[in-house]
Structure 1
Amino acid sequence: MVQERQPQGGEKRVCWFLKLWSIAVISIIVLSVCFIVSCVVTYHFASDKSNKRLSELQIYHSNLTCFSEGTRVTEKVWGCCPSTWKSFGSSCYFISTEFQVWSTCEQKCVEMGAHLVVINTEAEQNFIVQQLNESFSYFLGLSDPQGNNNWQWIDHTPFEKNVRFWHQNEPNFSAEQCASVVFWKSGGWGWNDVFCDTKRNSICEMKKIYL
């Protein structure tokens, strides 16, 4: 009778090492597949979101102008605005020359997929005023509905935490419940509280589309 050969200690260690190595390789493969699937899903989600936004904008705007804004991994990133709008940062701006009351100005912006402008930084304010005519004032997306000095941005940006560029001694009258940006020789461009039912120009703002 041939006696069965028992595995030696070294062989046992090799087998155990091979098992561990196999488990590690399988784990890496599974994690890699999960990562790739996650990336694909994320890409398609972002792509679908951009396509949906593009479809919405095309309802209001026949032409878009896109600008190269660097790269994301290996792909170029393009920021797009309607062709007649101005591009700055992550937003697009439209300077309306129609004289309307504040509520109508906001409605006109909404009809174009936007809202009255919300100013978040000094750089944004400086860019915007460069596009304006010093002879006119322009409604902002800022109002005080109750006339109690509780100013609110149209997109719910916290007013107290945001920048403010009021002209000196403004706002100064509780019945003037809307804000405009206007050029005064004594102080340059700044904000002023005005009656909401007066007719003025306005500034619309929308987020860029990124492709």
Structure 2
Amino acid sequence: MEQERQHQGRENSGWCSQVKLWSGLVISIVLLSSCFIVSCVATYHFTYGKSSRRLSELHTSHSSLTCFSEGTGVTEKNWECCPSTWKSFGSSCYLISTERNFWAQSEQNCVAMGAHLVVINSEAEQNFIVQQLNESLSYFLGLSDLQGNGNWQWIDQTPYKDNVRLWHQHEPNFSAEECASIVFWSSRGWGWNDVFCDTNRNSICEMKKVYL
């Protein structure tokens, strides 16, 4: 009888050990699954939440958006969106303003639409932009030297010295001309020129695309 009780005790002890082992495994799996779900939800809200907020912001300034698809497969397809009247190139949308204003007012008008005066980062970008421009007009860029000391700065804090510079020959050439424009000169084509900030000119607005 004593041996039987010892045998049953060993069985109960073994069973308890197995229960504890399986309970530990189940708890570990539940915790890992919970962490994975939380991570997925956080990633979703971070990625798609930002896009949703940006879309909402754009809809307050623009009545409609135009979206283009990228990729061929269902899992690869992305959508890039610009306001319907804006031009698409690279990761940005561009609007050629038909209004003539001072530089500061031109920037304010761009900001009101969720954009800023254009920042040109490559010759390819400029080549695209000038295709939309009128050769008889001058257009403000998001580039200025408001202290008149040769310290030119892009409106979005892009480092000027590390960026492309496409000035016309011998420009900039006058410290009192503290804003930059892009203009077509028949002998040289399109290039940048320093101009007075309080002159009325057309302008180019730029904003980042929204990706879905």
What band does the TM-score fall into relative to the shorter chain? 0.7 to 0.9
* In 1, Cα distance between equivalents of 2:73 and 2:180: 38
Distance 1:23 1:185, change over 3 A: farther
* In 2, Cα distance between equivalents of 1:146 and 1:89: 32
Secondary structure, counterpart of 2:167 in structure 1:
coil
Cα RMSD over matched residues? 2.6
Distance 1:23 1:100, change over 3 A: same
Opposite residue 78 of structure 1, the aligned amino acid is W
Q: Give the corresponding residue for 1:90.
A: 91
> Percent sequence identity over matched residues?
74
- Which deviations, in whole Å up to 9, do the C-alpha atoms of 1:134-172 show, x marking residues without a partner? 111110000000100000111111111111111111111
The structure carrying a bigger strand percent of its residues is 1
Unaligned runs of 5+ in 1: none
* In 2, Cα distance between equivalents of 1:115 and 1:127: 18
Opposite residue 97 of structure 2, the aligned amino acid is S
Q: Give the corresponding residue for 1:36.
A: 37
* In 2, Cα distance between equivalents of 1:71 and 1:34: 32
- Which deviations, in whole Å up to 9, do the C-alpha atoms of 1:102-161 show, x marking residues without a partner? 111111111111110011122211211111111111100000001000001111111111
Q: Give the corresponding residue for 1:79.
A: 80
Tell me, yes or no, if structure 1 residue 187 matches structure 2 residue 152: no
> 1:1-211 residue pairs with structure 2 within 5 A?
1-3=1-3, 4-5=6-7, 19=21, 27=28, 30-70=31-71, 74=75, 76-211=77-212
Q: TM-score with structure 2 length normalisation?
A: 0.85
CA-CA distance at 1:173 after TM superposition: 0.5
Secondary structure, counterpart of 1:158 in structure 2:
coil
Contact 1:71 1:77 in 2 (8 A): no
CA-CA distance at 1:75 after TM superposition: 6.1
Unaligned runs of 5+ in 2: none
CA-CA distance at 1:83 after TM superposition: 0.5
Secondary structure, counterpart of 1:97 in structure 2:
coil
Q: How many residues align?
A: 205
Opposite residue 30 of structure 1, the aligned amino acid is L
* In 2, Cα distance between equivalents of 1:40 and 1:135: 53
